[in-house]
């Protein structure tokens, strides 16, 4: 069945069912989204289903003949006959205009949203972004936004972290794939790769292989390799790279010193000030973090993430009026910045400015209805309306 770019023509009245675990959002939220576009959503595929959407959290997908646990016999027969189309989660979002070449910022995830969704520190999300393991669909005034496809990649990385692998070990394993597959820049995003415990395996036919063609390949030695020596480099750019590595190894004091050395060599720099502020915040020095966020904003007034993080620190230290000003400043430069609407709404609620808070809760939901924070916003609005 051919895809149609006209959303209403595709979903208006169509009977669709979701199977498997979705990578981008909860099943309930996906069903609500499909209904808003005119679909009838079935609890599970049956003889009346017209489109089956398979979640991408557990890629690679099995062949239709192996999907006994997903479809009943009638649905399998209609799939094999071609009277039912089977599409992936991403293909559905593409049809709805949520993932395309003109990315809609309202359906993308900021680093903070993605960290909350995957239950990993935002510093880890920044590391993956910095290393090119996840690639933003777009950036607005230094703020990266990630789409549903990158959520799926990030979820695989989070699974490896949960299995006990260090970020460095994950990257070394992916480097092995890169050496064996030089034409594939991002194997987690581009190949039929599955995560199995601490192993990253490539599906080929009915089997799982490691890079190089072996049935299994022992990567354990990668985790036991000694870390490279950290001789202090000369160039400020090298200092920043080393500081990032120290930060990733949780050597926060050393990372702070290296960033400051880069500042001494390079002069005032908004991005380095931002990284220093993040480190200081992680170390619990909110006053010093606040000053570095201020400096980042002074050096680059367009740095909306620095403005928003400054607002968070100010709110946390009880300076609510200044926090509101910081969030409003971020929104002046980036009115669609959902995180800023969210934090501003929370701060206004704490200040008992309910009407103004409601305005920003609604703006947040308009810009990020599928955010992991959306349920809180709906609850706040429900309480406010009650």
Whichever domain contains 194, its CATH number is 1.10.1660.10
CA 101-102-106 angle, 5° bins? 125
* Residue 133 lies inside a defined structural domain of this protein: yes
pLDDT at position 289, please?
95
**Tokens 């920043």 belong to residue:** 240
124, 210, 282 from 250: Cα distances, Å:
11, 31, 10
Which segments of the chain have a pLDDT < 50?
Answer: 1-9, 59-67, 101-103, 191, 203-207, 209, 211-213, 215-234, 383-386
d(CA 39, CA 48): 13
Tell me the residue ranges of DSSP E strands in the chain.
15-19, 40-42, 51-54, 85-88, 138-140, 143-145, 193-196, 199-204, 207-209
Last residue of a domain, one of 76, 95, 114: 95
Residues 87 and 171 in one domain: no
Closest C-alpha to 312, from 273, 356, 282? 282
**pLDDT of amino acid 362:** 94
Tell me the C-alpha distance between 322 and 339, whole Å: 17
Do 41 and 61 have their domain in common?
yes
- Tokens 């069912």 belong to 17
- Co-location of 325 and 364 in the same domain: yes
Of 209, 224, 239, which closes a domain?
224
Domain assignment present for residue 251? The answer is no
pLDDT the model gives residue 277 = 95
Question: Would you say 95 and 84 are in contact if contact means Cβ atoms under 8 Å apart?
Answer: no
Q: What is the pLDDT of residue 302?
A: 92
Same domain (yes/no): 220, 109: yes
Distance, CA of 43 to CA of 254 (rounded, Å): 54
Closest among 109, 94, 113 to 37, alpha carbons compared? 94
CATH code at 39? 3.40.50.10190
pLDDT recorded at residue 99: 55
Output the pLDDT for position 359: 95
Domain boundary among 64, 95, 126: 95
Residue 347 lies in a domain: yes
Q: Which domain holds residue 59?
A: 7-95
pLDDT of residue 1: 33
Give whole-number Cα distances, 62 to 192, 209, 324, in Å.
Answer: 11, 16, 50
Q: Are 109 and 338 in contact (CB under 8 A)?
A: no
Task: Based on the fold, state whether residues 195 and 167 are members of the same structural domain.
Answer: yes
Is residue 290 domain-shared with residue 362, that is, in the same domain?
Answer: yes
CATH of the domain at 336: 1.25.40.10
**Residue 370 sits in the same domain as residue 276:** yes
Q: Is residue 336 part of a domain?
A: yes
Q: Give the strands of the sheet with 15-19, arranged side by side.
A: 40-42, 15-19, 51-54, 85-88
Structure letter (DSSP) for residue 105: G
Please indicate, yes or no, whether residues 189 and 284 belong to a single structural domain of this protein.
no
Domain count, the chain: 3
Closest CA to 181 of 163, 206, 200: 200
SS3 label, residue 304 = helix
Q: For 56, phi and psi rounded to 5 degrees?
A: -105, 10
Q: What percent of the chain has pLDDT over 90?
A: 27
Say whether both 78 and 115 belong to one domain.
Answer: no
Query: CA nearest 113: which of 320, 371, 334?
Result: 371
**Whether 109 and 195 share a structural domain:** yes
Give per-residue burial for 6-37: e unless 16+ CB within 10 Å, then b. Answer: eeeebbeebebbbbbebbbbeeeebbebbeeb
244 within some domain: no
In a domain, 238, yes or no: no
**Residue 150 belongs to a domain:** yes
Asked whether residue 79 falls in the same domain as residue 109, the answer is: no
* Residue 2 belongs to some domain of the structure: no
- Residue 109 shares a structural domain with residue 220: yes
CA proximity to 316, closest of 338, 285, 292: 285
């Amino acid at each position: 069945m051919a895809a149609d770019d006209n959303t209403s023509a595709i979903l208006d009245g169509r009977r669709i069912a979701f199977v498997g675990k979705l990578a981008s959002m909860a099943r309930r939220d996906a069903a609500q989204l499909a209904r808003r576009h005119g679909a009838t959503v079935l609890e599970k595929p049956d003889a009346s289903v017209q489109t089956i959407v398979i979640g991408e959290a557990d890629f690679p997908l099995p062949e239709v003949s192996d999907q006994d646990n997903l479809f009943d016999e009638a649905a399998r027969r209609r799939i094999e006959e071609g009277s039912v189309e089977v599409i992936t989660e991403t293909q559905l979002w593409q049809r709805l205009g949520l993932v395309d070449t003109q990315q809609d910022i309202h359906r993308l995830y900021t680093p903070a949203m993605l960290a909350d969704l995957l239950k990993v520190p935002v510093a880890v999300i920044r590391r993956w972004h910095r290393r090119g393991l996840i690639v933003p669909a777009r950036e607005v005034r230094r703020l990266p936004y990630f789409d549903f496809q990158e959520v799926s990649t990030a979820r695989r990385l989070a699974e490896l972290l949960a299995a006990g692998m260090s970020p460095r070990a994950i990257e070394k394993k992916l480097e092995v794939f890169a050496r064996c597959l030089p034409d594939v820049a991002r194997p987690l995003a581009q190949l039929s790769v599955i995560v199995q415990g601490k192993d990253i395996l490539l599906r080929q036919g009915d089997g799982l292989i490691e890079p190089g063609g072996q049935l299994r390949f022992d990567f354990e030695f990668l985790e036991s390799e000694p870390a490279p020596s950290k001789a202090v480099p000369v160039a400020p750019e090298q200092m920043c790279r080393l500081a990032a590595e120290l930060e990733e190894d949780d050597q926060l004091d050393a990372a702070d010193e290296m960033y400051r050395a880069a500042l001494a060599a390079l002069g005032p720099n908004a991005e380095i000030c931002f990284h220093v502020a993040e480190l200081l915040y992680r170390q619990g020095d909110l006053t010093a973090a606040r000053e570095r966020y201020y400096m980042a904003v002074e050096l680059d007034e367009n740095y909306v993430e620095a403005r928003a993080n400054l607002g968070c620190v100010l709110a946390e230290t009880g300076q609510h009026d200044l926090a509101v000003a910081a969030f409003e400043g971020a929104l002046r430069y980036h009115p669609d910045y959902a995180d800023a609407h969210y934090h501003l709404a929370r701060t206004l609620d704490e200040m008992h400015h309910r009407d103004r808070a409601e305005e920003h809760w609604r703006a947040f939901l308009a810009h990020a209805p599928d955010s992991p924070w959306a349920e809180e916003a709906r609850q706040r609005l429900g309480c406010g309306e009650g």
